[in-house]
Amino acid sequence: MVKVKTLALSVSAALAWGAMGSAQAATTTQQVADLKAQVAELQQMVQSLSSQQQQQAVQLQQQAQIAAAKPAPVAPTASSTKPGWITLADGQTQIKIYGSVRADSTYDTKGANADSAASITNNTNKVPLNSVNGTRNNLNVSAATSRIGIDIVRPTEYGDLTGKIETDFMGSAAGKNSAENNTNGNGSLRVRHAYLSLGKWLAGQTTSPFVNTDTMPETVDYNGAMGGGTQRNVQVRYTQPVTANQKVLVALEGGDVDSVSSASTTLGAKSGGNRFPALTARYDIATADKKGLLQVHGLLHENRISLNDNVDETKLGWGVGVGGKYSFTPNDTVFANYYHIKGDSKYMLFSNPAYIASQTGADLSILESESDSGLIGYSHKWSPKFRSTVAAGAIWYKNSNGYADYAKTNNSTTLNKSLYNVIVNSFYSPVKDVDLGVEYTYGQRETFVKVPGTDNKGDYSRVNLMARYNF
């Protein structure tokens, strides 16, 4: 703007000087008037340019003030490229497909009957009593244990949003009885995991904090060893790190957690459904070198029976547990678990029904089971391709309460007083991601009462074979 003003003044001065210097020449009044008009026009142009520049300066200043007042948007972290992960079209979301193709074969040399003959999972808690002389030498096969899953991750301004969907084919097929659900060529899709997680929060279906999958030995049997559990419930879970090697998990788990069938009730009383979610918790303590892990578990939930909306009965179900594992060399690991549980049958494998429900007139009663369970195990890696495990687990029920008295009074041959298993297995991995497994299991169950003329013990003996390809 200063340069424009200087130019205008210079032109004006030159024109004026020229007019004065040309006085000696022949000039007319009209020429002088023309020069004055040109000078006036230049001055107007200068003023117009100056005004426009001032307006632009004010607008720029206002825009700068508005931009400064707005917080800068927080952009999500760019999606990183990970081996085996697929980036979707949005450029942010990544997925990874995983799973296993698996085939199982079982051969019962002792203890199979009509209920358990067509099952490829351990049935120690249901084998016939020895005096029943149950059918032996049963062969069963299945590929329903194959599974497929998808891991999902997408960055956000709050951290990575992660998710998982995992299924297998061990569900109960519609129209099939228990012996046909997932054995000898049958199987139906079921949900194993389906959840999302952001920061410290998780919502969806996954493994309950109360069960001890992290401190259990490896087995060929799909369910796992006695003295443990694999229950996966729909839950809202919060995880709080305490130190670099310690954390606390607390979850509210939905669903009918008492899971009592009509076979375990009497006189019309039935499971009334839970009004409250189950509360589960776990405290993890890992050693700094990651060789050892200790977990403490807790459980609270409501047991409820009802005749109608006005007549019901409730009792508290609860449990505590502790488990651990330690690798004292890279090739040697020991495992140990212990639980005490009252009024629950859903979380631990091989459990009796959670309670006995009874009715006298309009009066309802709940007789809760109470048990202890334990497991010890040892695993050894003979070479990078060959490993073995030996484990022993047991469950024993309290013998002096209303639950046990009911079993004795009614000569029950289904309610178990105690159970145990001994497992020996080996896995061979001829190539990467391929496992061939063989396992022998011996078990026994004992009922609360010995019915005259029958045996109150039933023995179980099985060989498992497995081939699996993990991808």
What mean pLDDT is predicted for residues 340-367? 90
Q: What is the pLDDT of residues 171-203, one digit of tens each?
A: 876 555 554 578 888 889 999 999 999 999 999
Residue 364 pLDDT > 80, yes or no?
A: yes
Lowest-confidence range among 41-50, 256-265, 287-296, 416-425? 256-265
Within a 10 A sphere around the Cβ of 212, how many other Cβ atoms? 28
Residue 386 pLDDT > 70, yes or no?
A: yes
Distance (Å, whole) CA 471 – CA 432: 10
pLDDT confidence band for 363 (50 / 70 / 90)? confident
Distance (Å, whole) CA 117 – CA 421: 18
Domain positions in the chain: 2-69, 101-148+201-470
CATH fold label, 101-148+201-470: Porin (2.40.160)
Q: What is the pLDDT of residue 15?
A: 41
420: Cα within 13 Å, side-chain hemisphere: 9
Cα angle at 232 between 226 and 238, to 5 degrees?
120
Q: What is the pLDDT of residues 79-101, one digit of tens each?
A: 556 778 999 999 999 999 999 99
Within a 10 A sphere around the Cβ of 9, how many other Cβ atoms? 14
What mean pLDDT is predicted for residues 63-86? 62
Q: Per the structure block, which two tokens stand in for 462? A: 């099985």
Distance (Å, whole) CA 370 – CA 345: 10
Picking from 210, 296, 207, the residue whose alpha carbon sits closest to that of residue 247 is 296
Distance (Å, whole) CA 223 – CA 208: 15
Q: What is the pLDDT of residue 446?
A: 97
Q: What is the pLDDT of residue 272?
A: 65
Q: What is the pLDDT of residue 8?
A: 43
What mean pLDDT is predicted for residues 269-280? 79
Do the beta carbons of residue 252 and residue 277 sit within 8 Å? yes
Mean pLDDT of the residues in the chain = 85
Q: Pick from 2-11, 278-287, 401-410 the range whose average pLDDT is largest.
A: 278-287
Q: What is the pLDDT of residue 22?
A: 46
Do the beta carbons of residue 455 and residue 412 sit within 8 Å? no
Helix or strand run (H / E) with residue 404: helix 402-409
More confident residue, 251 or 2: 251
Q: What is the pLDDT of residues 17-61, one digit of tens each?
A: 444 444 454 556 777 677 777 777 767 776 777 677 777 766 777
151: Cα within 13 Å, side-chain hemisphere: 10
Residue 113 pLDDT > 70, yes or no?
A: no
Q: What is the pLDDT of residue 186?
A: 86
Distance (Å, whole) CA 359 – CA 268: 7
